[in-house]
Amino acid sequence: MKKIFTLITFSFLLLILINNSVLADNKISKVDSISKNLRCLICQGQSVYDSQSEFAISVKDLIKKKIEEGNSDNDIYEYLKNKYGNWIMYEPELDKKTLLLWILPLILFVFGGLLIFKKAFINYNKNV
């Protein structure tokens, strides 16, 4: 029992070290990470990153240029949103219009949790 215990502890340690070293090694370029979050407007269901259409190539070049000019990720997103509307963003921003989109699932989760709690603790104890 003790043996397994140490074994597992060590394997977790190892895992974490591996995880960190592997991820630290993995530098994805900023252009890639930004263009992955953008919808290619003329290609159905593809991101700008995945697409090789002229539009997508231009957008990627533009992102590169903007980064070199010292723009932040947010500046670039804002710029593109201004030009093409929110539709270009794969991650909808949290504002008045998308509030429900983000919190409705969470509300449902809490609600479900309360139902189970009631069933397992309150009602059960009442009946017992």
Partner 1 sequence: MKFKKLNLVLILLITILVFFALYLGMKKQNLYTTDHIVNKKMPNLISTELFTGEEKNLSKLVAKEKFTILNIWASWCAPCRSEHKHLITLSSNNNSKIVGLNYKDKIENAKSFISELGNPYDHILLDKKGFISIDIGAYGVPETYVIDNTNNKIIKKYLGPIDEFILEEIINILNS
Partner 2 sequence: MINQLGYYSLVFCVLFSLFIITKSTRAIISKNSKFDGIYYNLVFLQLFLVLFSFFCLVFNFIVSDFSNVTVYNNSHTSKPLFYKISGVWGNHEGSLLLWLLVLILFLFLFILNSKKSENGYKLLTIVFQEVIILGFLLFIIFTSNPFEYLFPTPTEGLGLNPILQDPALAIHPPILYLGYVGTSLVFSSSLAATVNKSINSYWAKHIKKWIFASWIFLTLGIMLGSIWAYYELGWGGFWFWDPVENVSLMPWLCLTALLHSVLVLEKRNSLKNWTVILSIATFALSMSGTFLVRSGILNSIHTFANDPSRGLFILIFLFILILLAIIIYFSFEIKNPNPSNNFFWLSKETAVLINNWFMMYFLSVVLIGTLYPIFLEVISNEKISVGAPFYHKLMVPFLIPFFIFMSIGPRLKWIKDKFTKINYYQILILILSLVISYLIVEYSGVKYLFSTILISTSIFLFYSSASDLVKKNIQFPQKISHFAFSLLIISILVNGIYSKEINSNMKVGDNLTFMNKKIEFKSINFEKQDNYNLLRGYFEITEEGKIPINFQPEIRIYDQPVISTSEADIKTNLLNDNFIVFSLLKEGEVFNVRYQQKPFMIWIWISLIMLAFGGSLALIKK
Which residues of this protein are in contact with partner 2, per CB under 8 A?
1, 5, 8-9, 12-13, 15-17, 19-20, 22-26, 32, 37, 39, 44-47, 50, 52, 54, 57, 85-92, 97-98, 100-102, 104-106, 108-109, 112-113, 116, 119-121, 123-124, 126-127
How many other C-beta atoms can be found within 10 angstroms of the C-beta atom of residue 39?
17
Intra-chain end-to-end CA distance of the chain, in Å: 38
- Euclidean distance between CA atoms 83 and 43, whole angstroms: 18
Q: Which stretch binds partner 1 (CB under 8 A): 24-32, 61-69, 97-105, 114-122?
A: 61-69
Separation of CA 12 from chain center: 25
Closer of 33 and 72 to partner 2 (Cβ): 33
Positions 7 through 36 that interact with partner 1 (CB under 8 A): none
Query: Among 10, 12, 55, 117, which residue sits at the site for partner 1 (rule: CB under 8 A)?
Result: 55
Which residues fall within 8 angstroms of residue 72, CB to CB, at 6 or more apart? none
Positions 65 through 124 that interact with partner 1 (CB under 8 A): 65, 80, 83-85, 87
Query: Among 31, 34, 59, 76, which residue sits at the site for partner 1 (rule: CB under 8 A)?
Result: 59
Burial of 87 (0-12, 13-18, 19+ CB in 10 A): exposed
